[in-house]
Amino acid sequence: MPGRVVTVERRPRPRAMDSLGALAILRGLAVTSRHFFRNLWGFLRGRPTIFTINYPEEAQQFAPAFRGMPVLVEMPDGKERCVACGLCEWACPVDCITIYPAETHDEVERYPRVFDIDMSRCMFCGLCEESCPEEAIVMSDRVAIASTHWRGNVWHKQDLLVPVGDLEKRLGSIRRGYDTRASEPAVERESA
């Protein structure tokens, strides 16, 4: 049975829409031109205002709240702070953390014999950092993590360790977050 043919009438575009589109283009051009001439003027005066970084010679400075590559905190004695509890591995929504725990010689604490993160799967959500009870894994400001082979994206413990002194900015940001949350009034649960 042949299908029913329905003729749809398309209403002509109102002229006002066309003029709004043209206006938006003109506004965009005006913004682009303003920045161009402002930067040109700064360049001519020897004080460029262009926000350009000569990467990789210059590194971008990120805010403490920035979430780059997750790294492991290395204590001054050269050991990891991680106690291999596995909470970050459990919390990671994409299962990109692999931990094999082992016991320390005093058999009191554990340490990660293997601690791998597959950066090709990491989505920088920061849940590993939030779940860690030891402040042992933190989101760093590292962003240069590209690799030409998938194996190169699996970062091992020795690659992930960063001296605690280099992570103070981020650790301070995390602690400020704890303080802010602690000072917020508790939300009462609604009774069912």
* Shortest separation between residue 84's beta carbon and ligand SF4, angstroms: 5
Report the residue number, 64 or 126, with the smaller CB distance to ligand SF4: 126
Report the residue number, 26 or 123, with the smaller CB distance to ligand SF4: 123
* Shortest separation between residue 136's beta carbon and ligand SF4, angstroms: 4
Report the residue number, 39 or 142, with the smaller CB distance to ligand SF4: 142
116 neighbors 43 (Cβ within 8 angstroms) = no
Tokens 């209403």 correspond to 11
* Shortest separation between residue 68's beta carbon and ligand SF4, angstroms: 10
Report the residue number, 116 or 169, with the smaller CB distance to ligand SF4: 116
Which parts of this chain interact with ligand SF4 (CB under 6 A)?
70, 82-88, 91-92, 94, 96-97, 99, 117, 122-128, 131-132, 134, 136-137
* Shortest separation between residue 110's beta carbon and ligand SF4, angstroms: 9
Phi, psi of 99 (to 5 degrees): -125, 130
* Shortest separation between residue 22's beta carbon and ligand SF4, angstroms: 44
* Shortest separation between residue 57's beta carbon and ligand SF4, angstroms: 28
Report the residue number, 83 or 171, with the smaller CB distance to ligand SF4: 83
11-20: long-range pairs with CB below 8 Å, 24+: none
Report the residue number, 23 or 94, with the smaller CB distance to ligand SF4: 94
Task: Give the whole-angstrom CA distance, residue 133 versus residue 136.
Answer: 8
Give the pair of three-digit tokens for residue 73.
Answer: 């905190």
